[in-house]
Amino acid sequence: MTEALEWLQFVLAPQMINGLSIGVAVVLMALGLTIIFGLLDVINMAHGEFYAIGAYLAVALLGLGLSFWWALALTPVLMAVLGYATERGLIQRVFHSKDRHTLTLLLTFGLAIVLEDVLKIIFGANPLRVETPITGGSELFGLFFPNYRLFVMTAGGLLIAAVWMLVFRTSLGAIVRAAAFDRHMSASLGVPVSRVYAATFAFGVALAGLAGVLLAPIYSVFPTMGRDFVLIAFSVVIIGGMGSIKGAVLSGLLLTQVQSISSLFISPVWNDPLLFGIMVMVLMWRPQGLFGKLGHA
């Protein structure tokens, strides 16, 4: 009995906290993906590379002598500019096409390949490290946790709540949802639909970049890092319901907990099969995902 309690306290609980800190960042990334899909109906295959660019921007800004906190503040702004330019320069050109879904998917897939190669050319293929800005740990409930992971959980949780408030409790969010629901009616009422779409895409890209900065001190930064996380993010969005913020949050936290706890019992090479197995089972039960569309929160 004593051994079981010690295992729960010193093995399972820390693993769940680690999974929760990763889960919050994954949810931020998935939120960007689900907002872009839910509002623009665009499947952004380059979302993982935007996450990687966010992490590399942190590396570059730190290299310029700025602190991590400046990198955390500036990177989402720079990523939003990049996302806005991408939407206006690429997505907008095929957005009104009859084959929009196929064209935007292929376009963003090609963009992902280009961005990954650009990162290799600029920063090289070797992994880079970002020093943890908050060192040490804290004791909670008799357990010792790294302070930076506690910061990621707290900051990420506040950001997720802020995104939900912005989309569903502000006039700006109402305008964006109205433009997504009926762009012709919104345009007739004076809403600049084209700019709203570009700003929405930019916001989703900024969230991906922010997730990249938050996770940079936990993981190494390397050009293909976006591939791993975009698979998780797409699984989160599909299981939660394409376009559902509530679904993205719950499924993101659930999947990262499953991955974290399962690593105690099985090899990490089984993480992806486990993830996709859960996705297949959920889709067999509910093809629309757990919570459906963005309009239903």
Element (H, E) at 117: helix 100-123
Cβ within 8 Å of residue 95, ≥6 positions away: 40, 42, 104, 197
Whole-number pLDDT of residue 241: 84
Bridge partners for 146 per DSSP: 137
Give 10-residue mean pLDDT values along the chain (297 residues).
Answer: 71 80 85 83 90 95 95 96 94 84 90 94 92 86 81 90 90 86 84 90 94 90 87 86 84 88 84 85 85 54
Q: Of 259, 248, 255, whose CA–CA distance to 289 is shortest?
A: 248
With H, G, I as helix, E, B as strand and everything else as coil, classify residue 168: helix
Whole-number pLDDT of residue 1: 65
By the 8 A CB rule, do 119 and 53 touch?
Answer: yes
With H, G, I as helix, E, B as strand and everything else as coil, classify residue 141: coil
By the 8 A CB rule, do 24 and 160 touch?
Answer: yes
Neighbours of 11 (CB within 10 A): 11
Whole-number pLDDT of residue 85: 96
pLDDT digits (tens, 9 = 90+) for 11-39: 777 788 878 888 888 888 888 888 888 77
- Residue 216 and residue 129: Cα distance in Å, rounded? 7
Whole-number pLDDT of residue 219: 83
Residue found under tokens 């964006």: 176
- Residue 195 and residue 213: Cα distance in Å, rounded? 27
With H, G, I as helix, E, B as strand and everything else as coil, classify residue 237: helix
Distance of CA 37 to the CA centre of its chain: 13
Whole-number pLDDT of residue 295: 45
Q: Residue 239 burial (CB < 10 Å; 0-12/13-18/19+)? A: buried
